[in-house]
Homo-oligomer: A and B are copies of this chain.
Amino acid sequence: MNAKRQERDLLAGVRVVDFTQFEAGTSCTEVLAWLGAEVVKIENPRTGDPGRRLPRGRAPGEPWPDPYYFHMFNANKKSVTLDLKTPRGLELAKELLQKADVTAENLAPGTIERLGLGYDVVQSLNPGIIYCQIKGFGEGSPYEKGLAFDMIAQACGGPISVTGEPGRPPAKPGPSFGDTGTGMLMASTILAALLQRRLTGKGCRLQLAMQDAMLHYMRTCFATQARTGKPAPRRGAKSVAGNNVPSGLYPCKPGGSNDYVYITTSRANPEHWRRLLKLIGREELLGDPRYDSHEARLGHEKEVDAIVSDWTRRHTKEEAMRLVSGVGVPAGAVFDTMELMNDESFETRGILQVMQHPETGPFKMPSWPVRIDGAPPSLKPSPMLGEHNAEVLRDWLQLPASAIDALHDDGVM
């Protein structure tokens, strides 16, 4: 690791005791890990984070290594196994919490308290700790005991109501915005709390519900409702606000299921429409009153879309993107996961990096996409279950190797 790399470990020295599982919690603590914190997953010695047990795509009977899903949300972390239902396991967890700056969990409602690691207990052990909880629904909500996964958050928090085609049933946004979208809000708040703690020495309790987090991403939809007086609608490929024409997905050759280009013209810049007309060879429409203002085009959306589609159908999505973008009009091809994975630019720029995992082998995946002084942080493998038992108990608690062996023999680890 060279000096430049080390500078990117912005959170070097920050210790996190991590009880998170699946994605809403793990995506949050993984941000801290990517940015250089020492994040220690505390896992059940038998099964670990249930995210390790999701389908891996192997034939039945073959060994079941950790799935890609697990690697995605646990890169750069460490793993310590502790049976929290044993007195010694619980005691060790408490000793680790006394050494930690941050702890986080997204277990089912009531679980962390039943384990004996609720906020009051941990705060009394370590008044400086940032104690973080992610749940499906907020404390005091009528649904506060309800379980949630990504899709439940996207249903109850609004995203599903505004996704899909008009007049048809709603669709779920494909990405796991309900999970990772929640984790990101908690990550920022943890870091702000750490900044305050460096001044005051005091910790705090942070709580976030996945349903509540979704409202944060729905703000343009709430603005549309405030403007129109009606619930924000589903508009297929078009934006919920519906202010701009042309704006939408336009079909490209050769007509495959993702052969579309998104083109949008901004109301804030009337030049977009004129540039587009020139590019597509329809200068005769410059100044045509049917199309010359945003208001006029709003009343002729179908005709405008047909004018644009006539041109896009003669180009591939990549050509259309390059040409439209080249004249200063916002445009983007619809890329699928395979096209993205095969685009070398992402690997060259460090946005996709290769995880060298002892069981999975080399595996290319998204890293933290923010460049810090020119490059994103380096990707390290997700931990094997219990991989860091000896290292963490030695470094944090000064336990000798013999004591760690005994813990394994006793089934505590």
Contacts and interface: CB of A to CB of B under 8 A. Distances in A.
A262 B336 contact: no
A341 interface: yes
A349 interface: yes
A148 B54 CA distance: 36
Contact of A72 (B187, B219, B232): B219
A157 B182 CA distance: 19
A369 B329 contact: no
Interface residues of A, number: 158
Contacts of A307: none
User: How many copies of this chain does one complex carry?
Assistant: 2
B198 A198 contact: yes
A332 B205 contact: no
A45 B133 CA distance: 43
A289 interface: no
Contacts of A215: 340, 346, 351-352, 366, 369
Nearest to A215: B366
Given A72-B220, A161-B258, A262-B152, A189 B334 contact: no
B243 A156 contact: no
A390 interface: no
A10 B140 CA distance: 24
Interface in A37-74: 50, 53-57, 67-69, 71-73
A384 interface: no
Given A72-B220, A147-B328, A373-B204, A177 B181 contact: yes
A67 B223 contact: yes
A372 to B, nearest CB: 6
A240 interface: yes
